[in-house]
Amino acid sequence: MPCFKQPNHFQSLLVLQWPLSYLTIFWIVLPLFIYLLFTPMWPLPALYFAWFLLDWKTPERGGRRSAWVRNWYIWTHMRDYFPIRILKTKELSPEQNYLMGVHPHGLLTFGAFCNFCTEATGFSKIFPGIIPHLATLSWFFKIPLIRDYIMAKGVCSVSQPSIDYLLSHGTGNLVGIVVGGVGEALQSVPNTTTLLLRNRKGFVRTALQHGAHLVPTFTFGETEVYDQVLYQEDSQMFNFQKHFRRLFGFYCCVFYGRGFRKGSAGLLPYPLPITTVVGEPLPVPKTEKPSQELVDKYHTLYMEALHKLFDQHKARFGISETQRLLFL
């Protein structure tokens, strides 16, 4: 078990509330909301569901962020639990749009969430004039109430129409895509630096179509905060994970961290530092129909830029000078 500081119980509860809040909304709040349809308070949910049907295109059109939600005080406690911070290496001009690769996925992507979906680490002050959007699975936006909660934080759908909209309406938009996706979650174990990137080129094609500069990022410490139980490829559990992924769009990873008592195991992440390093933008030409050769060229340049970013900062964040960043 890693060595770590002991956060207070209040911070621990607030870290747990982030993933558990979605389960609470889905399993408790939403059923209660539906139940109200059969009570004298039925106009309240009826009006919401009518509005939900009329508003279904909003996640594909930039979402609906809330500065109030992004500035909730609970996010600062989540930040301090680890702690989480963001490191800028170059300025981002508000006159340009950006497509940002978020690496690695990790298990719950604490770093990307805290840095880009809240103001706990001061994103708007570090990158003035830039509006961050973190893309996630589209089916989240089909769930009533949950879709409004995540949109309030600046989360958008990872669908092509959603990203196209953000990169073609105004400037100063920064769209973050966790390029490795749910498949990379299974690679998220401590002391590894393996990314699913070599054959992930769709984000480069999209950047070329809009002339959006590519921004590499690497979150040091993201894969260290949980231990994961890995299974052999021919095991029943591995086959279950594959079927689960086909059905729900993400893997059912078996992981554990620390408990509330010192030395105990549980679902709390290890309170180890997480730092997202935002690299230098890679300019790309706007090309309505980029050729495969052009996509391959800028994909290679992006991988080289990400590799350089990792090598420049790895020693500072406790990674051996001999450890390499691996692309699968």
Residue 311's pLDDT is 96
Q: Look up residue 114 and give its amino acid.
A: C
Q: Which residues contact 81 (CB under 8 A, 6 or more apart)?
A: 7, 11, 12, 14, 15, 269, 271
Using CA atoms, how far residue 271 sits from 77, 81, 121, 222, 285, in Å, is 12, 6, 17, 11, 42
Residue 182's pLDDT is 79
Distance CA 240, CA 246 (A): 10
Beta-bridge partner residues of 268: 258
Residue 185's pLDDT is 83
Q: What are phi and psi of 317, to 5 degrees?
A: -110, 30
What 154-157 contacts at long range (C-beta under 8 Å, 24+ apart), as own/partner pairs, is 154/63, 154/65, 154/70, 154/116, 154/117, 155/63, 155/117, 156/59, 156/62, 156/63, 157/59, 157/60, 157/63
Residue 128's pLDDT is 97
Residue 1's pLDDT is 45
Residue 7's pLDDT is 76
Residue 232's pLDDT is 67
pTM: 0.91
For the beta carbon of residue 76, count every other beta carbon within 10 angstroms. Answer: 18
Q: What are phi and psi of 236, to 5 degrees?
A: -65, -40
CA-based nearest residue to 268, from 78, 94, 114: 78
Residue 166's pLDDT is 97
Residues of the chain with pLDDT under 70: 1-5, 231-232, 235, 238, 241-242, 245-251
Judge contact between 103 and 219, C-beta under 8 A.
Answer: yes
